[in-house]
Structure 1
Amino acid sequence: MAKNPNLTLTGSDLAALLCSRVCHDVISPVGAINNGLELLDEGGSDADALDLIRTSAHNASVRLKFARLAFGASGSVGASIDTGEAEKAIRDFAAAEKKTEITWNGPRAIIAKNRVKMLMNLFLVAYGSVPRGGSIDVTLENPETDAKFTLVAKGRIMRLPPKFMEINSGHVEEAVDAHTIQPYYTVLLAEEAGMRMHAVQTEDALVYTAEMAATE
């Protein structure tokens, strides 16, 4: 399997950019919790303030749990992960955001950590490609052996993410930053898992696939 020439970040740069990404994802709900507390201090509606705090705390918790599995160590080096954990994290993430329906098909299995992390990051790519919401169908085939993952995203607005397409194709020259680290990490995980990713736009959907690469 040929190496992707775009995957050149050092370990320290990769870690720093991923940390920036996680902080970006949780700062909004944490800020909303603070707003709810300020509303209480100012004598506002207790019900409204508590509802804002409760909702924002749940959102922050869901995002952190997702990030721990998608970006974190999730066990020791070389560990395996239950795909059921990924399914729950993805369903909880989508439910908290309240704009995208998830359908999950395929057997539950305990498989290589990077394969699960790649699946979760590919979900984030697909999720971002339907910004107004819609649906994402996730299908797992032979996850323990000759794995193939297919994600079909549908929505009122659909667009294949240009940065993901560039990084995955190996033809991008711009430096990776905190805004593009997530698609970069997705491609890196796919390479480490020995998988190839493809993305195409049909008349009514965006179709993302990841499957085991042929051994050269």
Structure 2
Amino acid sequence: MMSKNPNLTLSGPDLAALLCSRVCHDVISPVGAINNGLELLDEGGADADAMDLIRTSALNASVRLKFARLAFGASGSVGASIDTGEAERAAKDFAVAEKKTEVIWNGPRAIVAKNRVKLLLNLFLVAYSAIPRGGVLEVTLENPEFDAKFKLTSKGKLMRLPPKFVEISTGTIEEAIDAHSIQPYYTVLLAQECGMTLDHSASADELVFTAVAAAA
């Protein structure tokens, strides 16, 4: 049986508020860029550039919102299941919109518990943040419907283990959780709720993040 992480102490309202702040932070930049493009059109200059900015930013905002709906939102009723194919599409679309990381997805497509899919996508965000200059992120799913194992391998320049994720997952964080650290916090919380154990490792060539179903 998994032991409870002593860092997971946020109240429901605080967790909801910080997750909302995180989602708003993710979409405010592309939405602001859309507004800038519209202002350029209103001024009557650089029409082609303005339309390109609007199209790119609208796509980015749409992709981020669709990803957030799966990773943070309800995505159906309580206890619902989700197709891992949706998670794969959301992750790959996210990377395409960002234009800096290639996503390789391995493993069977399956209908699995909603929180497991949310955990997978949040661990994807953790692994994605580990290669801020871009690179390759390989996602591998094993037996996702039962004794699941998720393995995410990040390779790229300036790789680094996300410090807040490491601190929260190992129970060593001392600072209060804020909008910047809520996503790794939520990842660790989801793992606990799913009965899965998180781990991470680092070498000169790659960073590996895993979530494994704990033994009953």
Coarse TM-score class (shorter-chain normalised): over 0.9
**Partner Cα distance (1:162, 1:52) in 2:** 33
Give distance in 2, aligned partners of 1:72 and 1:110. Answer: 17
Size of the aligned set, in residue pairs, is 215
Give me the whole-angstrom Cα distance separating, in 1, the residues matched to 2:7 and 2:46.
52
Q: Deviations along 1:133-172, whole A, 9 cap, x unmatched? A: 0000000000011100000000011000111001001121
Cα displacement (A) at 1:173: 2.0
Percent of pairs with identical residues = 77
The one-letter amino acid of 1:160's match is: L
Say what the alpha-carbon RMSD is for the aligned residues: 0.6
- Consecutive unaligned residues in structure 1, runs of 5 or more: none
1:212 equivalent in alignment to 2:213: yes
Q: Where does residue 101 of structure 2 map in the other structure?
A: 100
TM norm structure 2: 0.98
Equivalent AA in structure 1 for residue 124 of structure 2: F
Report the counterpart of residue 34 of structure 1 in structure 2.
35
Which residue number in structure 2 is paired with residue 119 of structure 1?
A: 120
Measured in 1, the distance between the counterparts of 2:90 and 2:173 equals 31
CA distance in 1, matches of 2:150, 2:4: 21
Q: Which residue of 1 aligns with 2:18?
A: 17
After superposition, the C-alpha distances for 1:165-199 in whole angstroms (9 at most, x for unaligned) are 01001121211000000000000000001000101
Deviations 1:60-108 (CA, angstroms, capped at 9, x unpaired): 0000000000000000011100000000000000000000000000000
Structure-1 separation of matches of 2:195 and 2:134: 31
Paired with 2:114 and 2:94, the residues of 1 have a C-alpha distance of: 19
The alignment partner of 1:61 has SS state of helix
**After the TM superposition, which residues 101-180 of structure 1 pair with which residues of structure 2 at under 5 Å, given as runs?**
101-180=102-181
Q: CA deviation at 1:17?
A: 0.1
**Residue 87 (structure 2) pairs with residue 52 (structure 1):** no
What is the CA distance between 1:214 and its match in structure 2?
Answer: 2.2
TM-score, with structure 1 as normaliser: 0.98
| 2:204 aligned counterpart, secondary structure | coil
Which stretches of structure 1, 4 residues or longer, exceed 4 Å deviation after superposition? Answer: none
2:155 match: secondary structure: strand
